[in-house]
Amino acid sequence: MLDLIEKRFAAVAPDDCFCSLRWVRSRSEKIEVREDVLQPVVSGDDEGVMLTVVDGDGLGYAATSDLTEKGLAAAVARARDWAKRTAGRSVVDHANVPRASATGEFDTAVGKPWSSMSLADKVALLERECARLKTDDRIVDWAASLWNVETDTALLTNRGGRIRQHLNTLMPGLRATANQGAETQARTFGSMAGGMQGGLELLDRVGFGDAAPRVAEEALELLSAPDCPSGTMDLLLGAEQMVLQIHESIGHPLELDRILGDERNYAGTSFVTLDMFGSYRYGSDLLNITFDPTKPGEMASYGFDDDGTPAKREFIIENGILKRPLGGATSQARAGMDGVANARACSWNRPPIDRMANINLEPGSSTFDEMVAAVENGVFMETNCSWSIDDSRNKFQFGCEYARVIEDGKLGGVVKKPNYRGISATFWRNLEMVGDGATERVMGTPYCGKGEPNQSIFVGHATPACLFAGVEVFGGAS
């Protein structure tokens, strides 16, 4: 299909102004066995293109699922019309934004392709894992799932650019919900943030086949556990919660389009301002954050962003000091500062904006046991289940599925409904210890929402467990 698209684009692209075509074909299949019953297996095949035209200092786009030459020509005309109508009326001087016309390719490394296992065998695997979750009458809902998304993209420009990328993402999930009276507790594996790039070989790597008994047992444990204690104390966050903490209070506030005001009506602004880059102390010396779409297997890895900028690993925060924003070529031109290759669109029908891609917290040197031993009075929390943060990405409150108290350097009993709250601007400065590589997890979520029109996109986070001091912790109560 791509050959045909290239020929048709060559036929319809204007030669007196910049024009690009971004083609996306996304094929997905989601299989879920819930309460031992196979749910409808839904496959999807979504294909379309976005044509972008820069005419003078105006830019317009038009997206269509009509891939005929006539369809592409109509889209070029609509995009050009918008470019002309917005010239001189835009907050961006598009004439001065560099337009990449790179050539290159990127392919996710896949060991065992999705198609290498029959549908019947996948269903049988999920039936087996689902059944292993039902260990007790108090387990009232239980499910095992696999979601595979295969995405082919191409970015062509009328300046000779040609980038082709093939991404494959797998998201395995397990869920057990336990109930007694008016109390319900759930434990999950993967579901919200368990995505990675790769094939079915990931199932062994993430321990999908071993997890079900633990997931069910912990849901039942929570049912009879006391509430999480309240107070200001040390907080040890496991990697499954660190993913969310990084995402909300480092990733989003550093998106350059937010700082430039584009998102103020929807996703919000940022407590970070342009003058803070290069000098602002975001966290303790132990805090090292990278933007790394080159990390193999992470959920938002790629060779080029959707504007065609080559992907490159960059330090965003180094030894606690804020270094550079998450801004693609357009935002960089607007702000007059270096950024990263993160102009991304969720599909063919949405324009690229600044997104996170892979935002990682670099491992430190502390073992998990050393971090526990360092706590006199605190809580260990794992796996996010509630997230809320203000529109400047400062005042946050997060809740987790599972927690254990830590007393005198030892892990104690399980507690339920663990929550904590804080302020981004001070929270990261209380980072006391950073886990080593053995505590690191590479994860990702398909549900990062932002943009007008709205876009939900895949992002990745790799992180170890981390210890924070002086955090306000609390449990549930009516």
Partner 1 sequence: MQTYFNEIADHLGTLLQGEEVYTASFSAEESDFVRMNKSEVRQAGSVTDRSIEVDLIDGNRHAAGSSSLSGDAEIDRLRVAALLGDLREKRAALPEDPHLLYATDVTSTERVAENRLPAPHEAVDQVRDAGKGRDLVGIYAQGGIHRGFASSLGQRNWFTNHSFNLDWSFYHAADKAVKEGYAGFEWDTAELQRKVDLAAKKLDALGRKSHTVEPGRYRVYLAPAALSDIVGLLCWGGFSLKMHKTKQTPLLKMTEDGVTMDARVTIAEDTVGGVAPNFQDAGFLRPDRVELIAGGAYKDCLVSPRSAKEYDVENNGADAWETPESLEVNAGGLPTENALAELGTGVWIGNVWYLNYSDRSNCRTTGMTRFATFWVEDGEIKAPLDVMRFDETVYRMLGENLVDLTAERDLILDAASYGGRSVASGRMPGALVEDFTFTL
Per CB under 8 A, contacts with partner 1 among 34-73 are 37-38, 40-48, 50, 59-68, 71
Give me the least distance between CB of 219 and partner 1, in Å please. 12
* Residue 22 burial class via C-beta count within 10 angstroms: exposed 0-12, middle 13-18, buried 19 and up: buried
Give me the least distance between CB of 296 and partner 1, in Å please. 29
Among residues 294 and 383, whose Cβ is nearest to partner 1?
383
Among residues 99 and 407, whose Cβ is nearest to partner 1?
99
Distance CA 362, CA 382 (A): 19
Residue at token pair 């995505």: 195
Among residues 204 and 452, whose Cβ is nearest to partner 1?
452
Phi and psi, residue 257, nearest 5°: -65, -30
Token readout for 414 is 């399980």
260 belongs to the binding site for partner 1 (CB under 8 A): yes
| Maximum Cα–Cα distance across the chain | 72
Give me the least distance between CB of 407 and partner 1, in Å please. 24
Region of 83-91, 204-212, 292-300, 404-412 interacting with partner 1 (CB under 8 A): 83-91
Contact with partner 1 (CB under 8 A) among 16, 91, 160, 279: 91
Check if the beta carbon of residue 320 is closer than 8 Å to that of residue 249.
no
Return the exposure string of 258-268: e unless at least 16 CB atoms fall within 10 Å of the residue's CB, then b.
Answer: bbbebbeeebb
Contact with partner 1 (CB under 8 A) among 3, 120, 160, 279: 120
SS3 458: strand
369 belongs to the binding site for partner 1 (CB under 8 A): no
268 belongs to the binding site for partner 1 (CB under 8 A): yes
Per CB under 8 A, contacts with partner 1 among 159-218 are 177, 179, 181-184, 186
Region of 237-245, 288-296, 369-377, 388-396 interacting with partner 1 (CB under 8 A): 388-396
Q: Nearest-CA neighbor of 386 among 372, 373, 401?
A: 401
Q: Give the angle 161-164-166 at the CA atoms, nearest 5°.
A: 160
434 belongs to the binding site for partner 1 (CB under 8 A): no
Q: Helices (DSSP H) in 134-183: which residue ranges?
A: none
Give me the least distance between CB of 268 and partner 1, in Å please. 8
115 belongs to the binding site for partner 1 (CB under 8 A): no
Give me the least distance between CB of 283 and partner 1, in Å please. 20
Per CB under 8 A, contacts with partner 1 among 319-358 are 349-351, 353
Q: Nearest-CA neighbor of 62 among 43, 83, 31?
A: 83
Q: Helices (DSSP H) in 336-418: which residue ranges?
A: 368-373
Q: Nearest-CA neighbor of 50 among 157, 159, 166?
A: 157
Among residues 120 and 160, whose Cβ is nearest to partner 1?
120
Region of 100-108, 128-136, 276-284, 387-395 interacting with partner 1 (CB under 8 A): 387-395
